[in-house]
Structure 1
Amino acid sequence: MSRTVHHDGPLIIGGGLAGLSAALEAGPRKTLVVTPAPLLQACSSAWAQGGVAAALSAGDAPALHAADTAAAGAGLVETGATEVLTGDGRATVEWLASLGAPFDRDAAGGFAVSLEAAHSRARVARVGGDGAGRAILSALIAAVRAAPHIEVWEDGRLRGLIRDASGRVRGVLIERGVPGSGRMVEVLAPAVVLATGGAGGLFARTTTPVALLGEGMALAYGAGAEILDPEFVQFHPTAIDVGLDPMPLATEALRGEGARLVDGGGRFLLGEAADADLQPRDVVARAVHAARADGGGAFLDCRTAIGDRLPEEFPAVFAACMRAGLDPRETPIPVAAAAHYHMGGIAAGPDGRTSLPGLFAVGECAATGVHGANRLASNSLLEAAAFGRRTGRAAALETSATGATLPVRTVPDLSPEALQTLRETMSRDVGVVRDAAGLAGALEVMARLEAAAPGALPLVAARLIAEAALARRESRGGHFRSDYPAAAPVAEHARLRAQLQAAKPSAPVERAA
């Protein structure tokens, strides 16, 4: 039997950059943040290497940043949301710096910026070369712990969304303690903010925490929220292939500094032009995938362009290689394309509002339209912080509803063996290159797994991705179909919504003592 807690303020599920930005901006309204692990653990924000994209230099402007974002997004970028995002760029970086994020600075004291793929200008603000995510998130964590309006539960796993008969989201069911044997707590709140991260853990080859299984998207779908473009998964072309799960990341900034992708014979994968390796990530990822499939292998050669500067300028990459017994100053880094970012997710606006009253979504679990079919490098940290702030302010304005709520149905977890089968299936058949036969086969595997664990959230999330990929009979951005290699003449979004059966309200909940 679950205990019920009434919280009069925003309830935020997730402790990454998006969730904590929302929590800080929700003040002075009392805010509860719930995460399944201690802050700084098991969230993609802390692992981000590149930095925050924003128009920060004299030769740049939000409009140029927006144009690059639209070009990378392959026809599916929403103009209004993108203008809001890029317009917030400088203010967001300055806000993060004011909280203590130690961005690299130039000789004049301004923000040092780097060039990354598909950007027309150097505009990525970095920290310590490749340590942006962890440094920025650490600064926010310190601010959150010092904020009197924020309470944090660091042992809570989201198990369900609580709704009323009108469809409004009224709260969540949280399992606190050891997963599978913890105590259940119903938390009712005027606004629920999902900041649950992406779905990279659904793939056997991923650069993200393996615990990120798209569960927030799956629960939102089950509650009737609109899901936007779930088939669009970005595969990073330079995951370090040294047998680790998840795979360490070789940041794109290395290629911005002149590192080159080569095969086992030292031949350039994408041509000899100096900027050949700085094409959009989907193009580069397919080149890496093809080189490995052909047996020639794929490697990132940092020796000539960066060499002895690696330990100082890219310490995370250097340390990951050295731990694996590889010195990147002397040997090219073996790389593979791996699931890195989910462009699709819960349809939401720049202020986090979804199609369900009372439910907000922000960060990687949300699909705001700013990434379209292919995220522009380093726009994700900007989106998390900029839209996180907007979401926190909007959620703080919500007021509590009254009345009966619907009963919450919890679903079983996948066994470790079933989850591994799912992950291998997703990487093989729903990965960098897709076709009808592979996608249909993946859905058959999911159906078999579903029989043993009906409604398991990772299966729901995986099925949303695979079904939308099968339905999209074209290639666009991060979604490539070998049987439909051309893009359709008109770019169209995929919008999915579950057909819900009517349910009877439960008795009104009693306030906990």
Structure 2
Amino acid sequence: MEMNRLAFDFVIVGCGLAGTAAALELCQWGDVAVVSKEPVTGCNSYWAQGGIAAAVDHGDSVELHVADTLNAGHGLCHPAVVADVAGAAPDRVRWLERLGVSFDVDGKTGRLSLGLEGAHSRRRILHAGGDASGKNVMLSLHARLGDELNIVHLNHHAVNSLLVDANGRVAGVLATDANSGEELWIRARRGTVLATGGAGQLYARTTNPPGSTGDGIALAHSVGATVRNLEFVQFHPTALDADCNPRFLISEAVRGAGAHLVYRDGRRLMAFHPMQDLAPRDVIARTIYESLQRGEPVYLDARKVDDFQARFPTIFNGCLARGYNPERDLLPVAPAAHFMMGGVEATLAGETCVPGLYAVGEVSSTGLHGANRLASNSLLECLVMAHQLSLVLQDTEEMPLEAPDSLQPVTRFTTPPPELLSQVQDVMWTCAGIVRDGAQLQHGLSNLLALQDRYPHAAAVYTALLVVQSALLREESRGAHYRSDFPKTESALDCVDTRLQQPCTYATVPTH
């Protein structure tokens, strides 16, 4: 075999929690390649301050977890999917524990220490190392990844295209080695899995690391996969308002521990809402945005949170490095793009409408999150999908292939130069941000189409166009999608998803 041609049973694109968990599950059934353009420290999962939602306390139940998720999702969650994910949560927690993840326990009782986050009716958030949950989970799993002899991690490799055989099946990827510039044709004998994460870096203000440019959405759509509900971009309310990209995140768990959002004079920002500082993220994000538009800065007051430094060491040190002491100072905050509720339409096992192609984690759209993700459900979804994917793929047979040359790349995407990505970010923040309207979205669409004419192979532009087109189609306000020209939620659009497929057919259609 030539050096630039490799073959594995399973090829996984992305090394975050979804990709890593999938690799550890699939290596039971064959050899696995994990292909990633960033190391583990460059994925969203690693930087996740929040934990994993699971009904493991005696005062909680799967039914309550389901109800909270459905309530946050504003009529767009798929109830059966929500029930399956919430029901699987305790078992996935035990799986992590078997792999060496140590969840925080109460020093007095010895029981799991459970946190409270926005829109949850019970304390059900498990953490591992306080606000470094993502880091500790990922390091534990990547240590196991290195122990598995039939898993190969090809780091610093950007996937430019999906390889499709003569029967229209996705059968691998075309990747470029960032160090040598060599192109690798990596065949997947039994399944190609996208686990590329989100698209927060399409926005000028985001909590996402540099690699989150929506590549997986572009790759999947370019080969005919349906993408769904891309208009629903969650903006986290409390990113530190400092001029940097990514913005430093201050976890919702800090508000769960007693911090408050306030104006400079101490007035409570969320006093009007029944859930106050733990209202759904979309409500708080828009409230802060509107205040900033009026010229009134908003602050997080965490000065009365007990043992802040011990409970939130990552946040404490991060704020300190940026000139703020959470135990002494008000922290200026502003919303930033954080999570994609939409993505590649997939079953809970990651199956897409394209044979041979699977999508797991944030890049997918399973129907779990609806119009507004419930806090700490995302890492849980990664774990459940990886397990379900393994159950589906364990008995798959090798795809027939007459010759390596029968595989063809579809669209060869390129990594956007910094100046292009900056232009995309400005367009998306201005035209498809926290509050949108038809005129802004049309203006953004025109600007993006002009950029596509100049950079026809830029995945960032491709995905940004899909987001804007989706936002134009949904003429209502629901969850994280707020149209000032259609400010009301339309009951006729309950349970109606926005779906885009190639060749370009755009429609909002009921699916559940």
Provide the C-alpha distance between the structure 1 equivalents of 2:294 and 2:424, rounded to a whole number of angstroms: 25
Over 3 Å counting, the alpha-carbon distance change for 1:348 and 1:126 in structure 2 is same
Q: Which residue of 2 aligns with 1:511?
A: none
What's the secondary structure of 2:167's corresponding residue? coil
Q: Please, what TM-score do these two structures have when normalized by structure 1?
A: 0.93
Over 3 Å counting, the alpha-carbon distance change for 1:396 and 1:151 in structure 2 is farther
- Whether contact under 8 Å (2:160, 2:414) holds in the other structure is no
Over 3 Å counting, the alpha-carbon distance change for 1:267 and 1:109 in structure 2 is same
**1:380 aligns to 2:378 (yes or no):** yes
User: Post-superposition shift, 1:273?
Assistant: 7.1
Q: Which residue of 1 aligns with 2:503?
A: 499
Provide the C-alpha distance between the structure 2 equivalents of 1:4 and 1:364, rounded to a whole number of angstroms: 29
**1:69 aligns to 2:41 (yes or no):** no
Q: Which residue of 1 aligns with 2:316?
A: 318
Provide the C-alpha distance between the structure 1 equivalents of 2:399 and 2:220, rounded to a whole number of angstroms: 19
Q: Which residue of 2 aligns with 1:230?
A: 230
User: Post-superposition shift, 1:58?
Assistant: 0.2
- Whether contact under 8 Å (1:23, 1:392) holds in the other structure is no
Question: 1:4 is matched by which residue type in structure 2?
Answer: R
Provide the C-alpha distance between the structure 2 equivalents of 1:489 and 1:274, rounded to a whole number of angstroms: 23
Provide the C-alpha distance between the structure 2 equivalents of 1:350 and 1:108, rounded to a whole number of angstroms: 36
Between 1:265-274 and 1:329-338, the stretch displaced more is: 265-274
Provide the C-alpha distance between the structure 2 equivalents of 1:243 and 1:131, rounded to a whole number of angstroms: 23
What's the secondary structure of 2:42's corresponding residue? coil
Question: 1:359 is matched by which residue type in structure 2?
Answer: L
User: Post-superposition shift, 1:500?
Assistant: 8.0
User: Post-superposition shift, 1:415?
Assistant: 2.5
Q: Which residue of 2 aligns with 1:276?
A: 276
1:483 alignment partner, one of 476, 485, 500: 485
Task: Output aligned runs, 1:112-151, within 5 Å.
Answer: 112-151=113-152
C-alpha deviations, 1:252-310, integer Å up to 9, x for none?
0111111010122222111177840111100000011111111111110001234xx11
- Whether contact under 8 Å (1:171, 1:190) holds in the other structure is no
Q: Which residue of 1 aligns with 2:449?
A: 447
Provide the C-alpha distance between the structure 1 equivalents of 2:50 and 2:227, rounded to a whole number of angstroms: 28
Runs of 4+ in 1 over 4 A off after TM superposition: none
Over 3 Å counting, the alpha-carbon distance change for 1:2 and 1:453 in structure 2 is farther
Provide the C-alpha distance between the structure 2 equivalents of 1:95 and 1:48, rounded to a whole number of angstroms: 19
Provide the C-alpha distance between the structure 2 equivalents of 1:482 and 1:500, rounded to a whole number of angstroms: 27
Question: 2:121 is matched by which residue type in structure 1?
Answer: S
Provide the C-alpha distance between the structure 2 equivalents of 1:117 and 1:276, rounded to a whole number of angstroms: 9
Q: How many residues align?
A: 496
- Whether contact under 8 Å (1:231, 1:479) holds in the other structure is yes
Question: 2:13 is matched by which residue type in structure 1?
Answer: I
2:344 alignment partner, one of 319, 343, 346: 346
C-alpha deviations, 1:22-76, integer Å up to 9, x for none?
11111322111111122x2210001111100000100111111011101100001
What's the secondary structure of 1:238's corresponding residue? strand
What's the secondary structure of 1:130's corresponding residue? helix
- Whether contact under 8 Å (2:230, 2:342) holds in the other structure is yes
User: Post-superposition shift, 1:186?
Assistant: 3.8
Over 3 Å counting, the alpha-carbon distance change for 1:384 and 1:464 in structure 2 is same
- Whether contact under 8 Å (1:24, 1:392) holds in the other structure is no
Provide the C-alpha distance between the structure 2 equivalents of 1:288 and 1:435, rounded to a whole number of angstroms: 18
Over 3 Å counting, the alpha-carbon distance change for 1:195 and 1:412 in structure 2 is closer
Q: Which residue of 1 aligns with 2:261?
A: 261
Q: Which residue of 2 aligns with 1:507?
A: none
Over 3 Å counting, the alpha-carbon distance change for 1:178 and 1:445 in structure 2 is farther
Provide the C-alpha distance between the structure 2 equivalents of 1:367 and 1:330, rounded to a whole number of angstroms: 41
1:461 alignment partner, one of 457, 460, 463: 463
Over 3 Å counting, the alpha-carbon distance change for 1:265 and 1:352 in structure 2 is same
User: Post-superposition shift, 1:407?
Assistant: 4.4
User: Post-superposition shift, 1:170?
Assistant: 1.1
Provide the C-alpha distance between the structure 1 equivalents of 2:98 and 2:277, rounded to a whole number of angstroms: 35
What's the secondary structure of 1:239's corresponding residue? strand
Provide the C-alpha distance between the structure 2 equivalents of 1:10 and 1:412, rounded to a whole number of angstroms: 24
Unaligned stretches of 5+ in structure 2? 506-512
Task: Output aligned runs, 1:88-127, within 5 Å.
Answer: 88-106=88-106, 107-127=108-128
User: Post-superposition shift, 1:339?
Assistant: 0.3
Provide the C-alpha distance between the structure 1 equivalents of 2:410 and 2:50, rounded to a whole number of angstroms: 40
Q: Which residue of 2 aligns with 1:504?
A: none
User: Post-superposition shift, 1:6?
Assistant: 2.4
Q: Please, what TM-score do these two structures have when normalized by structure 2?
A: 0.94
Q: Which residue of 1 aligns with 2:42?
A: 42
Over 3 Å counting, the alpha-carbon distance change for 1:2 and 1:445 in structure 2 is farther
Provide the C-alpha distance between the structure 1 equivalents of 2:16 and 2:329, rounded to a whole number of angstroms: 34
- Whether contact under 8 Å (2:254, 2:302) holds in the other structure is yes
Provide the C-alpha distance between the structure 1 equivalents of 2:122 and 2:19, rounded to a whole number of angstroms: 29
- Whether contact under 8 Å (2:4, 2:182) holds in the other structure is no
Over 3 Å counting, the alpha-carbon distance change for 1:287 and 1:138 in structure 2 is same
- Whether contact under 8 Å (2:302, 2:330) holds in the other structure is yes
Between 1:15-24 and 1:397-406, the stretch displaced more is: 397-406
Over 3 Å counting, the alpha-carbon distance change for 1:500 and 1:395 in structure 2 is farther
User: Post-superposition shift, 1:108?
Assistant: 3.8
Provide the C-alpha distance between the structure 2 equivalents of 1:302 and 1:281, rounded to a whole number of angstroms: 18
Q: Which residue of 1 aligns with 2:508?
A: none
Question: 2:119 is matched by which residue type in structure 1?
Answer: A
Provide the C-alpha distance between the structure 2 equivalents of 1:231 and 1:319, rounded to a whole number of angstroms: 34
Question: 2:497 is matched by which residue type in structure 1?
Answer: H
- Whether contact under 8 Å (2:161, 2:409) holds in the other structure is no
C-alpha deviations, 1:419-477, integer Å up to 9, x for none?
10110111121111111111111111101111111131111110111110011000001
Between 1:160-169 and 1:61-70, the stretch displaced more is: 160-169
Question: 1:117 is matched by which residue type in structure 2?
Answer: G
Question: 2:114 is matched by which residue type in structure 1?
Answer: V
Question: 1:131 is matched by which residue type in structure 2?
Answer: A
- Whether contact under 8 Å (1:69, 1:371) holds in the other structure is yes
Provide the C-alpha distance between the structure 2 equivalents of 1:498 and 1:328, rounded to a whole number of angstroms: 48
